A and B are shown apart, each in its own frame.
Chain A
Amino acid sequence: MAQAPEYHYVGSVDYQPTRPSAHQNLIELYGLTELAKKVGRVDEFGNKRKMRRSYKAYIQDLPGYNEILRDNTIKQWLTNPIREEVPIDIEFLHHVFSVEPGIIPGFNPKVFGLEDDVVMGNVSRDSSQPRSPSRRKK
């Protein structure tokens, strides 16, 4: 006589659906609708929204000529964060910056991003003051 087959009673286990379900719109569920609109490939008028490959747009209003360097600076900061306070001796800084006019060897003034050299007068200001002339849009 053949041995009777073994049966498992499938009703003995209760199953609950996973949540959230992919049947739901996860963009809406997690409040990402505005983000999806902002970065979508087409804007609300049907025009194609172009995106720069680099983050140049975010730094082009900073003063000077800014190159985008590709390195591991941020990774190093994350790996070895500097947490202690660095003391600053303002009198010592005033002393070491007592410099005389002259040529700075090996220095490329291109970093200023200026067509012509500009002789600056007093530029002392806090953030509530207007920007100095050296700051300009590109």
Chain B
Amino acid sequence: MLPQDDMTDEMKSLASRLEDTTQAFYDLALIVYNLEDTTPSDAIPESLDTLIRDLKSLPDISRKVNNLIPQDVLEYIEQGRNPDVYARQFSELVQKDNQYVNGKLYAIEGFQKAFAEEIKQAYPEVSSVVDKILNEGKVESTVS
């Protein structure tokens, strides 16, 4: 069963009904396979009715589930891979690139500051413009 903590009620309903449908297919197949003269005559019809009822209910339930799933995740599943691995890689990639670009920003801002100081020394008459440009790029740093 899928983890429940991050599923909406509609998703839980759909997952539960899909499991019921899978079970109904299984039950019908098992009855047919184990058919004997002593098998109750209504065993197959009742199994069929259960299966059809489950199948018919799926469209209505699935219409209430509108979560978007990245195509990468679908391809992962098609290849038999664990979507949790995708989530882990995605999470780690966000953190890695966040820190990488953060480091780049620090380097560029350091260069900007040093460059600005040199310009102000060489051209004191444009100091006010340099200060104005410096203030435009102020961003508060919160990366942990």
**Taking beta carbons and an 8 Å cutoff, which residues of A are in contact with B?**
10-11, 14-17, 21-27, 32, 34-36, 38-41, 51-55, 57-58, 61-64, 68-75, 78, 85, 88, 90, 93-94, 97-102, 104, 107, 109, 111-112, 117-127, 131-132, 134-135
Residues of B within 8 A of A34 (CB): 6
Contact across chains for B48 and A78 when beta carbons are under 8 A apart: no
Contact across chains for A17 and B137 when beta carbons are under 8 A apart: yes
Cα A69 to Cα B34 in complex, Å, equals: 27
Contact across chains for B129 and A55 when beta carbons are under 8 A apart: no
Residue of B nearest to A100 (CB): B35
Contacts A/B (CB < 8 Å), 9 sampled: A53-B85, A69-B80, A88-B55, A90-B49, A93-B52, A97-B48, A118-B34, A122-B40, A123-B43
Q: Mark B43-63, 1 if CB is under 8 A from A, else 0.
A: 111111110110110010000
Contact across chains for B23 and A132 when beta carbons are under 8 A apart: yes
Contact across chains for B52 and A62 when beta carbons are under 8 A apart: no
Residues of B within 8 A of A90 (CB): 48-49, 52
Q: A26-B94, A27-B94 are in contact. Are A119 and B36 (CB under 8 A)?
A: yes
Interface SS of B by simple majority: helix
Cα A67 to Cα B69 in complex, Å, equals: 23
Contact across chains for A51 and B84 when beta carbons are under 8 A apart: yes
Residue of A nearest to B144 (CB): A25
Contact across chains for B132 and A11 when beta carbons are under 8 A apart: yes
Residues of A within 8 A of B17 (CB): 127
Contact across chains for A109 and B33 when beta carbons are under 8 A apart: yes
Does chain A have a CB within 8 A of B124?
no
Does chain A have a CB within 8 A of B81?
yes
* Total chain B interface residues with beta-carbon distance under 8 A: 72
Give residues of chain B (69-108) contacting chain A, Cβ–Cβ below 8 Å. 71, 74-75, 77-85, 87-88, 91, 94-95, 97-98, 101-102, 104-105
Contact across chains for B74 and A74 when beta carbons are under 8 A apart: yes
Output the least CB separation between B61 and chain A (Å): 11
Output the least CB separation between A136 and chain B (Å): 11
Output the least CB separation between B39 and chain A (Å): 8
Contact across chains for B16 and A51 when beta carbons are under 8 A apart: no
New contact pairs (16) apart from A90-B49, A119-B34, CB-CB < 8 Å? A11-B129, A24-B142, A25-B142, A35-B87, A40-B88, A54-B80, A54-B81, A63-B26, A94-B45, A97-B45, A98-B44, A123-B31, A123-B43, A124-B47, A126-B20, A127-B17
